[in-house]
Amino acid sequence: MEAVEARELDIQHIKDMATQIRRDVIRMIVGVGSGHPGGALGAAEIFALLYGGVLRVRPANLKDPHRDRFVLSNGHICAAYYSALSLAGFLPREELQTFRRLNSRLQGHPARVKLPDLVETSSGPLGQGFSVANGIALALKLDGSRGRVYCLVGDGEMQEGQVWEAIMTASHHRLGNLTLIVSYNGLQIDGEVQKVKNLMPLKAKFESFGWECVETDGHDVASLYRALAPYARKNGVNGEKPRAVIAHTVMGKGVPFMENKAVWHGSCPTSAQAEEALLTIGKAKGFEDYPVLPSPASTTKKRRR
Amino acid sequence: MIFEKPTPIRDGFGKALVELGEKNSRVVALTADLSEAIRVHWFAEKFPHRFFQMGIAESDMMGTAAGLAMAGKIPFVTTFAAFATSLANTPVRVSVAYNQANVKIATSHGGVCVGGDGATHQSIEDIALMRVLPGMTIVVPCDANEAYKATLAVAEYPGPVYLRLGRIATPIFTKANTPFRIGKAQILAQGDELAIIACGAMVGFALEAAQVLQKKGVSVRVINMHTVKPLDRTAVLKAAQECGAIVTMEEHSIIGGLGSAVAEVVSEKYPVPVERVGIRDVFGESGEPHEILEKYGLTTKDLVVSCKRALERKESMVKYKSRV
Provide ipTM, 2 decimals.
0.94
Give the Cα separation of A160 and A85 in Å (integer): 27
Longest distance between any two alpha carbons in chain A, whole Å: 63
Task: List per-block mean pLDDT (blocks of 10 residues) for chain A, which spans 305 residues.
Answer: 55 97 98 97 98 95 95 98 98 97 97 96 96 98 95 97 98 96 96 96 98 97 91 58 97 97 95 97 97 65 44
Strand order in the sheet with B74-80: B51-53, B27-31, B74-80, B104-108, B161-164, B137-139, B227-229
**Lowest-confidence segment of A244-248, A301-305, B29-33, B121-125 by average pLDDT:** A301-305
Nearest chain A residue to B56, by CA:
A165
What helix, strand, coil percent values describe chain B, rounded to 5?
45, 20, 35
Nearest to A121 among B57, B59, B99 (CB): B99
Asked if B95 lies within 8 A of A132 by C-beta distance, the reply is yes
CATH number of the domain at A27, please.
3.40.50.970
Question: According to the model, what pLDDT value does residue B183 have?
Answer: 98
Distance from CA of B102 to the nearest CA of A (A): 12
User: What residue numbers bound the domain in which A271 lies?
Assistant: 10-304
Distance from CA of A67 to the nearest CA of B (A): 11
CB B170 within 8 A of CB B9: yes
b/e A268-277 (16+ beta carbons within 10 angstroms → b):
bbeeebbebb
Nearest chain A residue to B27, by CA:
A139
Question: According to the model, what pLDDT value does residue B104 have?
Answer: 98
Between A and B, how many CB-CB pairs are < 8 A? 108
Does residue A100 lie within any of the structural domains? Answer: yes
CB A137 within 8 A of CB B64: no
Asked if A169 lies within 8 A of B57 by C-beta distance, the reply is yes
Give the Cα separation of A8 and A67 in Å (integer): 20
CATH of segment(s) B186-323? 3.40.50.920
In tens, the pLDDT along B215-251 reads 999 999 999 999 999 999 999 999 999 999 999 999 9
Distance from CA of B68 to the nearest CA of A (A): 5
Give the Cα separation of B126 and A100 in Å (integer): 33
Does residue A21 lie within any of the structural domains? Answer: yes
Q: Which residues contact A168 (CB under 8 A, 6 or more apart)?
A: A209, B55, B57, B60
Q: Where are the domains of chain B?
A: 7-170, 186-323
- Prior bond to A242 cis, omega within 30? no
**What architecture is domain B7-170?**
3-Layer(aba) Sandwich (3.40)
Give me the mean pLDDT over the B306-316 stretch: 97
| Disruptive mutation site among B28, B94, B133 for chain A (greatest number of A CBs within 10 Å) | B94
**Interfacial A residues in 9-38 facing B (CB < 8 Å):** none
In tens, the pLDDT along A216-233 reads 999 999 999 999 986 655
Question: According to the model, what pLDDT value does residue A3 have?
Answer: 38
Distance from CA of A174 to the nearest CA of B (A): 12
Nearest to A131 among B28, B50, B67 (CB): B67
- How many domains are there within chain A? 1
Q: Give contacts of B60 with chain A, Cβ < 8 Å.
A: 131, 134, 162, 165-166, 168-169
Nearest chain A residue to B94, by CA:
A122
Question: According to the model, what pLDDT value does residue A233 have?
Answer: 53
Question: According to the model, what pLDDT value does residue A295 have?
Answer: 59
Same fold, B7-170 and B186-323: yes
Give the Cα separation of B175 and B166 in Å (integer): 18
Distance from CA of B301 to the nearest CA of A (A): 45
Give the Cα separation of B22 and B43 in Å (integer): 10
Give me the mean pLDDT over the B128-148 stretch: 97
Phi-psi region of B224 (alpha: psi -120 to 50; beta: other; left: phi over 0): beta
Give me the mean pLDDT over the B295-308 stretch: 98
**Interfacial A residues in 107-136 facing B (CB < 8 Å):** 111-113, 120-125, 128-136
